[in-house]
Structure 1
Amino acid sequence: MEKLFLRSMQTKEKLEIIYLSQENDLSQRTIRVIKLRENHILAFCYARQKLRIFRLDNILAVYPFMKKMGA
C-alpha cells in the first residue's frame, strides 16, 4: 500500500481507495496523494473537491485509478 502512495506522490497519478469513516461509513474515493505520514495521508479528494486527511488504518483497499470506459 505504501508503494502506491509514494508513486502517487511522485507521478501525481490518481488512486482509488475504499475508506471507513470514523462513523463506520464505507466510501470509495478517488484521491491524489500530497503527503504521506506515519499514520495518515494528506490527499486531494475528487469527491469532496478539497484536501482531506485519511487515516491509514481506515483505508481498507487501495488501487490505481481506472478511467471508466465511455466516460
Structure 2
Amino acid sequence: MVNYFLKASLERNQPITIIYMKDDEITERNIKVFEINNGNVKAFCFLRNQNRIFKIKNILSASFSQNGYKIAK
C-alpha cells in the first residue's frame, strides 16, 4: 500500500504523510515525491524544509496529507 501512495504523490504532484523509521526513531513526515528508484524515494520533506532521500523499506505507512502543503519558491 505504501507504494500506491508514493506513486500517487509522484504522478499527482500531491503531498503525502508517511510514518518513517530511522535508527529506532519513528517520525511523521509530510513529503512530496520527485523520484522513486532502487528502493529509495527522493522527496521534499516539509518537516526539514529540504529535499531528502528516504528508504522505502523504512516507510511504515503512508496516506494522503490532510494539510495543503506547498513548496516555498
* TM-score exceeds 0.5: yes
TM-score bracket, normalised by the shorter chain, equals: 0.7 to 0.9
1:30 maps to 30
TM-score normalized by structure 2?
0.84
Q: CA RMSD in A?
A: 1.4
Cα offset, 1:38, TM superposition? 2.7
Q: Residue by residue, what CA displacement relative to the aligned partner does 1:40-68 show, whole Å, maximum 9, x if unpaired?
A: 10000000000000001110000000129
Q: What percent identity do the matched residue pairs reach?
A: 25
Aligned length: 67
The one-letter code matched in structure 2 to 1:61 is S
Structure 1: where are the runs of 5+ without partners?
none
Cα offset, 1:14, TM superposition? 0.5
Structure 1 residue ranges (4+ consecutive) displaced by more than 2 angstroms after TM superposition: none
